[in-house]
A and B are shown apart, each in its own frame.
Chain A
């Protein structure tokens, strides 16, 4: 490149402006195949990601709903004929109205949902990681029937999420569920699980922990098996205790894996729709709703509100973007490269 650009223009060529196009053209002649190679990827990204994203952002600045999206509403008569009337309140650009309405709480419960989402995400990911790490360390040593344990522990992963959601919902049923039957059996009063915000959230968290632990366990187990055995041998010779080996070899050795899975787990849990939607149904009175389920109900019940849905989408995306920027910065500080 530098040789191309460094070459002085021939004296006959006009100076200034035209130097640029010719440089571009020369670059194109030399590197056209590279552009041709990336073109398919660019097109796929544009179609699958950029177009929907930009359209979503654009819609969030309008008041588009199902009722006002058509320029005209046509009524067909069964006897033939069709009457089309111009839509009297056609959708229009409304600027930041949607954001103001959502953030001031005029529509929906944005701040309450955000709070619930944060609690839900932190508790779920912490439990996933903690339990996954514990189970992985237990399975990461020779023992009888290890294969069987591994299969059994991965099982929750293999069950479709909605099946386990319904199963857990029934376990926590206030009248007929197993949880209250067990509590009564040991002499504790049955709990009205879905009558209180925190107990309702608890049922959803239990369900999601049950579902999410296998992934963490498998990922961490894989990470543990990449840690060279010699390190442990050397530490043992030096007289390090089991805890010291875990803290000083296993944990640092796992860091590349655990950082990635925690990031993934956070994003997944943050947007984990089916568990809240099916297990608590937002009860009581919408208080266990998280952002994604709240946004869904706000936007898709009754006449669908596409602009409101996009507004929530953009807000959720921004929260996750901010999170991942900080997370990546934290990683870079620790010298991680991905």
Chain B
């Protein structure tokens, strides 16, 4: 990794030198002439994409090729960076002021954090936000930090109930379960009547949120500056999840590699239902043993006693503040192209990703896309997350709690109290308990 980092640094330095040499004289010309001829833009941009390199990357590369038809002289260095590493890698490079990509696909929770550290360009006043009314409000909100906007939404997502239609039919379940109680019955029916398991719960913090939201709980109250993770609602939600496992309706999850296990089992038709997001649709439907899109059902997450809702997720395009001024025009053009309604519709059609623009949903290809239609209902019920710089740190203690409760049979309330204490000590010391 160190070697690649150095490679990137060298590359970036070379890029910088080249672009400075190439663009040195163009500044004044651009000032006088607001409308730039696409062919006159001349730059080399590095883009770190954190999407899945096998399932999603090819579609993004196609988009880049399309971009280059209009802007032949803007070279995009496409680099696929694993999602799990990108956050730290970007921070290291941005802090060192060298080797960071010009453009990054940042997860929604990262943007306020990067912005608070001064690593991103504020995009206010640029043409990227000229039609910001077109963006869905919740995904756009994740880009705001202290009144400024630092990113452009790429995709939005939320967790949903994904199910294997064939297995549910075999088990005599005609409709996807609408509440956790129905889910339990359905899962037990699957277990009895087929040789697959009912449901697989990933014992991770993010995947526990539908259970907590279902009872009306939340992580923190950002307005009242209060930690509410150890509320009775959250404990009740966790008890629902725990009961699914204890009663045998849900498969016994493993503590390590549980996400991969969940996906493998679902793709091999060994488990009938999972809770996951649209980013896995392409992965599931292209699995040889699954039976394609016809066999995949998508429904909103089941409801608890209060409501049904998954967490809002998604990704944004952000521009590194260390990128030289000369490249701004090219970077803006690129991000504008990538986040345009047409590009979003293209990605939606290819990968089933959810657009972040209202206008994109009017495009026929999106309107008639079954996956998008299914997830649109899911997204309308999604619950916004706290958009504060510390938001990314909420999930470490939460993951630990999920393992303790679902695998090690710890009491939910006690486990949540420990999380609250950790939030107070390590994540948001300024908040009240």
Contact = CB atoms under 8 A, between A and B. Distances in A.
A174 B254 contact: yes
Contacts of B404: 284-285
Interface stretch (A45-53, A71-79, A309-317, A328-336): A71-79
Contacts of A77: 121-122, 124-125
Interface in A60-114: 66-67, 70, 73-80, 101, 106-107
Contacts of A195: 254-255, 407-408
A192 B255 contact: yes
B414 interface: no
B10 interface: no
Interface in B138-168: 148
Nearest to A304: B91
Contact of A78 (B328, B401, B408): B328
15 contacts: A66-B95, A78-B123, A78-B124, A78-B125, A80-B325, A101-B425, A107-B426, A173-B256, A176-B261, A194-B256, A281-B256, A283-B403, A284-B408, A285-B403, A286-B400
Contact of A74 (B88, B116, B118): B118
Nearest to A105: B425
Interface in A278-332: 280-281, 283-286, 297-298, 300-304
Contacts of B319: 78
B393 A301 contact: yes
Interface string B327-352: 01000100000000000000000000
Contact of A303 (B113, B121, B255): B113
Interface in B414-430: 425-427
B117 A67 contact: yes
A169 B117 CA distance: 36
Interface in A178-208: 192-195, 200
Interface string B246-265: 00000010111100010011
Contacts of A297: 396
B118 A70 contact: yes
Secondary structure class of chain B's binding surface, majority of residues: helix
Given A79-B125, A175-B261, A73 B118 contact: yes
Nearest to A282: B400
A303 B389 contact: yes
B321 interface: yes
Contacts of B126: 78-79
A174 B261 contact: yes
A302 B408 contact: no
A101 to B, nearest CB: 8
Contacts of B396: 297, 301-302
A193 B389 CA distance: 36
Contacts of B118: 70, 73-76
Contacts of A176: 261, 264
B392 interface: yes
Given A303-B390, A304-B91, A284 B116 contact: no
B128 interface: yes
Q: Considering residues B148, B256, B390, which has the most beta carbons from chain A within 10 angstroms of its beta carbon? A: B256
Interface string B291-334: 00000000000000000000000000001010001001000100
A66 B91 contact: yes
Nearest to B407: A195
B261 A285 contact: no
A78 B332 contact: yes
B255 A200 contact: yes
Nearest to A89: B430
B122 A285 contact: no
A285 B407 CA distance: 9
Contacts, number: 108
B122 A78 contact: yes
Contacts of A107: 425-426
Q: Which of B116, B255, B389 has the most CB of A within 10 A?
A: B255
Most chain A CB inside 10 Å of its own CB: which residue of B115, B116, B252, B254: B254
A103 to B, nearest CB: 14
A283 B321 CA distance: 37
Contacts of A194: 254-256
A176 to B, nearest CB: 7
Interface in B377-399: 389-390, 392-393, 396
Contacts of A169: 256-257
Given A192-B254, A284-B407, A302-B392, A76 B321 contact: yes
Contacts of A280: 256
B220 to A, nearest CB: 14
B64 to A, nearest CB: 21
Nearest to B391: A302
A77 B396 CA distance: 32
B408 A285 contact: yes
Contact of A175 (B122, B125, B128, B265): B265
Contacts of B426: 107, 298
Nearest to A305: B426
Contacts of B400: 285-286
A64 to B, nearest CB: 13
A173 B91 contact: no
Listed residue (A67, A79, A101, A107) with the most chain B CB atoms within 10 angstroms of its CB: A79
Contacts of A298: 426
Interface string B262-304: 0011000000000000000000000000000000000000000
A6 B392 CA distance: 71
A285 B415 CA distance: 11
Residue in A74, A76, A298 whose Cβ sees the most chain B Cβ within 10 Å: A76
B148 A75 contact: yes
Top 7 nearest A-B pairs by Cβ distance? Answer: A302-B393, A194-B256, A194-B255, A174-B254, A283-B255, A285-B403, A79-B125
A286 B256 CA distance: 11
A70 B94 CA distance: 13
B284 to A, nearest CB: 18
A55 to B, nearest CB: 16
Contacts of B88: 300
A78 B128 contact: yes
Contacts of A66: 91, 95, 117
B131 to A, nearest CB: 16
